[in-house]
Amino acid sequence: MGGLAVLGRTYRHLNRYREVAAILTKHGFGDLLHVLKLDSHLEAGLHAVMKHPPVDAASRPERVRLAIQELGTTFVKAGQYLSTRSDLLAPEYLRELAKLQDRVPPFPGSEARHAVEKELGAPLSRHFSRFDLHPLAAASIAQIHAAALRDGREVVVKVLRPDVRRLVAVDLEIMTHLAGLAEKHLEAWRPRRPKAVVAEIARSLDREMDLSMEAAHTERFARQFADDATVRVPATHRALSSAQILTLERLDGVKPGSARALERAGLDPRVAAERLAAHYLAMIFTHGFFHADPHPGNILVQPDHVIAYLDFGMMGRLDRGSREALADVVFALSERDEARLARALLALADKNDEPDPHAFEADMAELMDQYAYRPLSEWRLGRMLEQLFQTTARHDVRIPPDLFLMVKALTELESLALLLDPRFDAVTACAPFVRRVHEERASPARLTERLTQAGRETLNLLASAPGELRALIQAARRGRLLIEFEHKGLEPTLAELDQISNRLAFAVLLGSLVIGSALLVHSGLPPHWRGMPVLGLAGFLLSALMAFWLLLAILRHGRL
């Protein structure tokens, strides 16, 4: 009954659950539904969709992408997030998930107008002289409309899709349940903590669906580049924005999708690539707050090679410690120093248990051998970092999610820069930023700050120690001192014991029923059928059915 209790939360979304099961089965994942025990917990009406249909010729990673695309908004966003997690999925799955397109038909412009008027509490004409009902772009979370303010300034208005929060909440509830079943029944996935991954996806989606958060991101990004004349950020119109709508200055420029397009506009692609790299490396190593989606649709090149950035819904953060450790990683790569590289990665990661240092360094050395004899210009920094994080995952060393987002952004930037300038060298471009991080870390001001912080923490520890020690002694005297032990790896054994005890209880009940039926037959208690007591015969029939059911359950699990 445990599975039914867990699934109970999703019963109110049964139609959507049925749709998810049908789409997974359609693309050849009926076996997965069986492994997750969904065929035991879902009502009989769902069993029909869980038969295994013929699977087309597409590979399994391709079928994963096609199923996710058909499942819609929440699953597409989850797939895009997973496409950055090289610690969770094999490269062939990462490549397929990276192809997921967040494109959906637009919703009616009249609904967008109604949403804007509702949020602003007034007719559109009070704030806008023009509002185009046909959207400029449509995505799964929101769509964008061109408009003009009363004073003639051109703006764009981003409008959240109607009812998107409820639809995402339903899918996240189903996704959380599936993740829980994966942790329970898929031993290989247990160390990857699927429920924690879904929780991270939920947090990311929650931020993306709050347009007031995107407004804050836009303003913070503008402040951090306020003194850089080569960066342009659209102005935010806070009075015309909320959690549901976002009004921004409309910017023009050339999308850096090709060198030829820039040249036609009188711009030098190499200068644009250099500017883009300088901006992104400053975001990562200097500010620790970076634009995480640098595809050409979110970037414009303006006259004098000013780079305009758009769409701040997906942002990443790196604290100072992570930036310093990342600088050490890049430096160790450039110096081909595997021991320093291993130490820097461990400083960067969330560690469960310390890995075997010799094995860890050996893997670092093996990875670096792939690049040791190549010139730096042939190195691909984003790909190298992705390989490093895959290696750390094999040693159960977990990397914080924002670092995977940083690798995705860096990889996309590197691809874009190489498109504009085939001679672009990311490692060389990093050098001045890495050097600056090292200089700042060794500066008197930074050393003083670290010593002050360490002294403050030591004083706090010394001040709290007597009270904590007194509390421990008092708890011990009262017999209330509790020491908790956490046993890991016992879940499969406990589940097996639970299954054994259930079968024993079932067998005892079955034996009792057989004995009781025999006594009834022997007693000759009426009514009779063909000279035999009906109650005794019914008992024997029920016993036979129960015995058959128990035998099927044993055979289904492959153990007689």
Return the active site residues. 293
H-type alpha helices, 315-425: 320-335, 338-348, 357-369, 381-394, 401-420
Give the rounded distance of the alpha carbon of 543 from its chain centre: 50
Which residues 6+ apart lie within 8 Å of 112 measured at CB? 133, 135, 143, 145, 157, 159
Instruction: Say which residues have a Cβ less than 8 Å from residue 132's Cβ, sequence separation at least 6.
Output: 109, 145, 146, 147
Would you give the DSSP letter of residue 188? G
Beta strand 245-249 with 154-160: parallel, antiparallel or unpaired? antiparallel
Show the tokens assigned to 10: 């999703």
Return phi, psi of residue 317, to 5°.
-130, 140
Buried b (16+ CB within 10 A) or exposed e, 289-299: bbbbbbebebb
Q: How far apart are CA 466 and CA 387, in angstroms?
A: 47
CB distance 327 to 285 below 8 Å: yes
Burial of 403 (0-12, 13-18, 19+ CB in 10 A): buried
Name residues whose C-beta falls within 8 Å of residue 256's C-beta, 6 or more positions apart in sequence: 262, 269, 272, 276, 296, 299, 300, 301, 416, 419, 420
- 512 phi and psi angles, rounded to 5 deg: -60, -40
Cα–Cα separations (whole angstroms), residue 11 to 17, 29, 57, 173: 8, 22, 34, 11
Rounded CA gap, 96 and 93, in Å?
Answer: 5
Token pair 């360490």 in the structure block, residue: 454
